[in-house]
Structure 1
Amino acid sequence: MSLLKRNNALTENGFTNTVTTDNHITTRGSDWYFAVTAIMAVSTIAFMGLSFTKPRSQRLFHYITAAITLVAAIAYFSMGSNLGWTAIQVEFPRSNPKVAGDFRQIFYVRYIDWFVTTPLLLLDLLLTCGLPTPTIIYTILMDEIMIITGLVGALVKSSYKWGYFVFGCVAFFFVAYTVVFEGRAHARALGQDIAKVYTVCGVWTIFLWFLYPIAWGVSEGGNVIPSDSEAVFYGILDILAKPVFGALLLWGHRNIDIARLGLHVRDPAETDVQGGEKRAVNDATNNNTTIVDNATATTV
């Protein structure tokens, strides 16, 4: 019965942080955040379970993808619990009662989630296409700039927030160029099957990421939509960009040996087995050679 009790997160955690805000999520928004938490948690379990269908040396993408949804589950649990936020004075006060008030609830925990998970998403993609390590590092740096400027902009009350928005968009275009053009060129060189997986997952990701600045502009930026609508907008995007992306990626990787991507993961257990097999073959070969030599000697 305790699992069926009413959601009391908003009552227990309240809306007084640095200041009190009236422009915040309702119980419906909290319920939605908890629903997304469940989706992320189930996805994490599924991805980790699927990893056991592969040898340990082939589980890299399963581990990265499961880490993405695990971090997201923690972030959404925090937001559903009405934690990890602060109240920021809005630049554009609205007459609509659903977004009325001088202060808006800003979930900074969402950006902590993205700071960890978006580089992992890019790592999933850019390792798939075999992009050089320096390019991967620089692309992830641009991604981190995109996330940090989004957070800083959300926490600024004046029009200067849009300057950070522009910096973030410029960084995003660099990331998009690398994924769409450089990544696809490298993926084609690795084989048609790899190119197909990369193209599907890459286009899917960049298309969704183009929608995030729109969500930011009508919520943290412009204070156009209420916090519950913000929760639904970001939640749907995150579900598509993380669990659905992960399912597409791992399905595509099911028959791809990561050694084809230039990745070599050493597993001592597999190495010992392979070493034992090689020794057995060598011993058999040596024995056969001895027998042949003896037979030859006898014949002579």
Structure 2
Amino acid sequence: MVNNAINTNGNFVNGANADIAITTHGSDFYFAICALMTISAFTFVGLAFRKHRRDRVFHYITAGVVFVAAIAYFTMGSNLGFTPIEVEYRRSDPKVSGVFREIFWVRYVDWFITTPLLLMDLLLTAGMPWPTILWVILIDEIMIVTGLIGALVRSSYKWGYFTFGCIALCYILYQLVWEARRHTIVLGQDVKRVFFMCGTLTAVLWTLYPIAWGVSEGGNIIAPDSEAVFYGILDFLAKPVFGGLLLWGHRNIDPARLGLKIADYDDDPSVNGREKAVPANTHSGGVVEGHNGVENGHHNGTTPAHNGVAPIAA
């Protein structure tokens, strides 16, 4: 099948023509990553159905990540979701020698949705408290938004936004490498192992994203086709590969151990530690069942023991 996305959708947007843009090779690569993301998404959802509904939280979060990424990569492969931005640095290399570079804002929409979900996967695995999780997600959103603004700025002020984004990234890496890792110590070796594996992968890969930004949107050093390969490989490793490792690591971990005890409507109350409601007429026999099932009241002239320990006689 011939890929006609470049010819069909063109490079002319908002009154400007992106003369530094992807070719059919870049479009093909974006579509290939889209296919891998889509396959991964359906795989993760399929694996979720092997778990009870209350135990699917990590499957759903991870599947959501790759579903959103698949849509973003389909958009970029279709040569859509971009705007031409005048480059700060004019290059002599024919591949990047134009005036207006194609900036895919849809990539940042993808990251704005998916990177908080990736962090939720990791921080929930580490059993981090909710206020900390929400705070780290806010810092992550700042990182993504400053990256987008910087990519859309034509002047050297773009590097100011780049710096803000890098500071936010350093804080996120601190949380992953230090704070969250410490939380896993008391949760068991299996939890510690899966967090170390996935957290290390994320920390290493996320460190490479500013480099990709600097040589593409920022410095106009590499061609958009090379940009597609750079970001595409990073996203593939940071999302489907990350997701596969995370779900494999969680295969025998009960989410309740991580503070994620979720009730379902058809749960057996005895399994969840809840007692069935006792109808009022069951107390007519003069026997009252206490919390520990050992309280018989004072009808028989005896004083019940607490937790099975007899009281000391006066």
Q: Secondary structure at the match of 1:79?
A: helix
Runs of 4+ in 1 over 3 A off after TM superposition: 271-275
Looking at secondary structure, tell me which structure has more helix per residue: 1
* Counterpart-to-counterpart distance in 1, 2:28 and 2:190: 41
Among 149, 157, 175, the residue aligned to 1:178: 175
Structure 2 spans left out of the alignment, 5+ residues: 277-314
* Counterpart-to-counterpart distance in 1, 2:266 and 2:35: 35
Answering whether residue 84 of structure 2 is matched by residue 57 of structure 1, we say no
Q: Which structure would you say has the larger Rg?
A: 2
Q: Secondary structure at the match of 1:186?
A: helix
Q: What is the aligned partner in structure 2 of residue 240 from structure 1?
A: 237
Among 77, 96, 101, the residue aligned to 1:80: 77
- Aligned positions of 1:1-300 closer than 5 A: 5-18=1-14, 19-271=16-268
Q: Secondary structure at the match of 1:228?
A: helix
What amino acid maps onto 2:166 in structure 1?
A: C
TM-score when scaled to structure 1?
A: 0.89
* Counterpart-to-counterpart distance in 2, 1:274 and 1:92: 64
Q: Secondary structure at the match of 1:225?
A: coil
Aligned length: 276
Query: C-alpha offsets along residues 154-192 of structure 1, whole Å, 9 cap, x if unaligned?
Result: 000100000000000000000000111000100111111
> Identity over the aligned pairs, expressed in percent?
62
| 1:273 CA displacement | 9.2
RMSD, aligned α-carbons: 1.7
| 1:271 CA displacement | 3.9
Query: C-alpha offsets along residues 48-70 of structure 1, whole Å, 9 cap, x if unaligned?
Result: 01011111110000000000000
Query: C-alpha offsets along residues 103-158 of structure 1, whole Å, 9 cap, x if unaligned?
Result: 10000000000000000000000000000111101100110000000000000010
* Counterpart-to-counterpart distance in 2, 1:12 and 1:249: 39
TM-score when scaled to structure 2?
A: 0.85
Query: C-alpha offsets along residues 234-262 of structure 1, whole Å, 9 cap, x if unaligned?
Result: 00000000000000000000000000000
Q: Secondary structure at the match of 2:142?
A: helix
Q: What is the aligned partner in structure 2 of residue 284 from structure 1?
A: none
What amino acid maps onto 2:82 in structure 1?
A: W
Q: Secondary structure at the match of 1:266?
A: coil
| 1:272 CA displacement | 7.0
